[in-house]
């Protein structure tokens, strides 16, 4: 049955090709037209309200239409909207670079601007490769790619990813990478628990480093949470051991904190919990609080110095985007960092994440179809399974996560499923009462789906 759609929805479907979507789905479930947003809420063309529990694809930190950020953007727009960043600079770019060096792990002293997360990954991969070329190590031209990793949609980023849904069709176009088994705490092959394990799974990467280190330039990792893989979480000790191995085998460590940076894991950056400084740190998403596209790659003096020479040596890093260092985006990002500093949001995150974990665990831990509720900082994930004892997943063709997502939307809650995983990554301005609403509404949506589709278990008994 084709639903009745509005004029705006019809006009959208006539021309717009939406991301990460099978457009045929929109015949039965057309895109929702959002007219405005405020705080954690979005409002559609009919005035219906939705809680944005996924921060609009993980970018929004301090709520929609945030007054401080909006004013900073407006003021900057009347001063300078853009200027070429080669041979020119501007105050927002300078001040932002200084502030990023101040708040990121010690030793990251140089800031290279890009446009989005994927382009930041491309920058880091290219920098690492060119660094080793200019250090007379031409054999170091491959990267280690972890299973279940996701680093973006451009070809280099797909090459170092491990989620087949995104990169399998493009395999003939991708770089020749070394594949290594990544951490999987929910289905741990060593039967350990993340809160007490010795991270034996690091041995998978160590074996690859031993065998291939002479030809490896870098390994790239999402610190603490493999997000697009289903919010797979692992302990900081894994990162610490990985850094030690990279030093031992002369391989760069690229930390992709595009999704997990800026407080998402409970600290300003996920690497902070392991006490490590990567050779490259890629940042985007929350960098501008959900306002404008911007990304940066931070790196060390050692890397920078390998490119610093007379022009004739051709050692410069010749990579650019038209909107590199855009003043509007830089000014917004600077305001985001000021908000963190002046309004003490890391402390807020600790309080709210503790409450969210207690409430969600109580609600979901004993549910017959929840294999695990896991949480790191303000990122919580519910993994739905067919068999709780064996952890057998539901067949992907059943699209259980997608169907629960639709039910939740009807109830005014925006969740974005990752296969059979439902997750929370709300803006930090969410209140405790609103956290309770998110948890309870999610539970209602799960209950409703299973009561209608898997009646063999009376899920209402687990409320």
Binding annotation: 57, 117-118, 150, 256, 285, 320-322, 416
Backbone phi, psi, residue 299, to 5°: -145, -175
- DSSP-assigned letter for residue 286: G
Numbered residues of the known binding site for substrate: 57, 150, 285, 320, 416
The dihedral built from the CA positions of residue 416, 418, 420 and 424, taken in this order, carries a sign that is: negative
Burial degree of 137 (CB within 10 A; 0-12, 13-18, 19+): middle
On the CB side of 105, CA atoms within 13 Å amount to 23
Nearest-angstrom CA–CA distance, 197 and 267: 21
Burial degree of 191 (CB within 10 A; 0-12, 13-18, 19+): exposed
- DSSP-assigned letter for residue 79: T
DSSP conformation letters of 310-365: -GGG--S-----TTTT-HHHHHHHHHHHHHHHHHTHHHHHHHHHHHHHHHHHHHHT
Q: CA angle, corner 333, sides to 220 and 276, nearest 5?
A: 35
DSSP conformation letters of 378-401: TEEEEEEEEETTTTEEPPGGG-HH
DSSP conformation letters of 196-263: T---TTHHHHHHHHHHHGGGEEEEEE-SSEE-TTT-EE--HHHHHHHHHHHHHHT-EEEEE-TTTTTT
Nearest-angstrom CA–CA distance, 317 and 66: 37
Written as six digits, the tokens of 293 are 């596209």
Nearest-angstrom CA–CA distance, 294 and 332: 10
Nearest-angstrom CA–CA distance, 117 and 99: 19
For strand 379-387 and strand 392-393, is the pairing parallel, antiparallel, or unpaired?
antiparallel
Nearest-angstrom CA–CA distance, 446 and 451: 9
Count CB atoms within 10 A of the CB of residue 206.
Answer: 17
Numbered residues of the known binding site for pyridoxal 5'-phosphate: 117-118, 256, 321-322
- CA 69 from centre of chain: 21
- DSSP-assigned letter for residue 109: -
Nearest-angstrom CA–CA distance, 414 and 157: 28
Count CB atoms within 10 A of the CB of residue 382.
Answer: 29
């Amino acid at each position: 049955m084709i639903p009745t759609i509005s004029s705006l929805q019809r006009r959208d479907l006539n021309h717009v090709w939406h991301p990460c979507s099978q457009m045929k789905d929109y015949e039965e479930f057309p895109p929702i037209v959002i007219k405005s947003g405020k705080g954690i809420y979005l409002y559609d063309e009919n005035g219906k309200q939705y809680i944005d529990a996924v921060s609009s694809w993980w970018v929004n930190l301090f709520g929609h239409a945030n007054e401080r950020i909006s004013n900073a953007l407006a003021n900057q727009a009347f001063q300078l909207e853009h200027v070429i960043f080669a041979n020119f600079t501007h105050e927002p770019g300078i001040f932002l670079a200084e502030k990023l060096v101040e708040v990121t792990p010690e030793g990251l002293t140089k800031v290279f601007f890009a446009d989005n997360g994927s382009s930041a990954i491309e920058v880091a991969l290219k920098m690492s490769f060119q660094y080793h070329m200019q250090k007379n190590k031409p054999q170091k031209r491959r990267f280690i790619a972890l299973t279940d990793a996701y680093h973006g949609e451009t070809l280099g980023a797909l090459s170092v990813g491990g989620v087949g849904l995104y990169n399998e069709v493009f395999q003939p176009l991708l770089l020749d990478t070394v594949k290594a088994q990544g951490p999987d705490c929910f289905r741990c092959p060593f039967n350990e628990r993340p809160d007490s394990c010795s991270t034996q799974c690091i041995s998978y990467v160590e074996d690859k480093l031993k065998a291939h280190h002479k030809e490896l330039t870098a390994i790239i990792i999402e610190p603490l949470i493999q997000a697009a893989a289903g919010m797979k979480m692992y302990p900081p000790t894994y990162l610490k051991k990985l850094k030690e191995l990279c030093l031992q085998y002369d391989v760069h460590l690229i930390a992709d904190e595009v999704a997990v940076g800026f407080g998402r894991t409970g600290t300003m950056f996920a690497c902070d919990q392991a006490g490590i400084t990567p050779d490259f740190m890629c940042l985007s998403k929350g960098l501008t609080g959900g306002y404008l596209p911007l990304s940066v790659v931070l790196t060390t003096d050692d890397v920078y110095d390998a490119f610093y020479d007379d022009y004739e040596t051709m050692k410069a890093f010749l990579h650019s985007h038209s909107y590199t260092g855009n003043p509007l985006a830089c000014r917004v990002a600077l305001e985001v960092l000021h908000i963190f500093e002046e309004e003490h949001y890391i402390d807020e995150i600790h309080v709210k994440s503790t409450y969210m974990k207690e409430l969600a665990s109580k609600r979901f831990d004993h549910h017959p179809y929840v294999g695990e509720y896991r949480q790191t900082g303000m990122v919580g994930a519910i993994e739905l399974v067919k068999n709780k004892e064996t952890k057998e997943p539901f067949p992907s063709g059943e699209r259980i996560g997608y169907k629960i997502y639709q039910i939740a939307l009807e109830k005014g809650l925006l969740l974005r499923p990752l296969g059979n995983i439902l997750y929370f990554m709300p803006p930090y301005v969410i209140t405790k009462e609103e956290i309770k609403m998110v948890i309870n509404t999610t539970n209602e949506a799960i209950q409703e789906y299973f009561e209608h589709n898997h009646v063999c278990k009376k899920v209402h008994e687990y409320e």
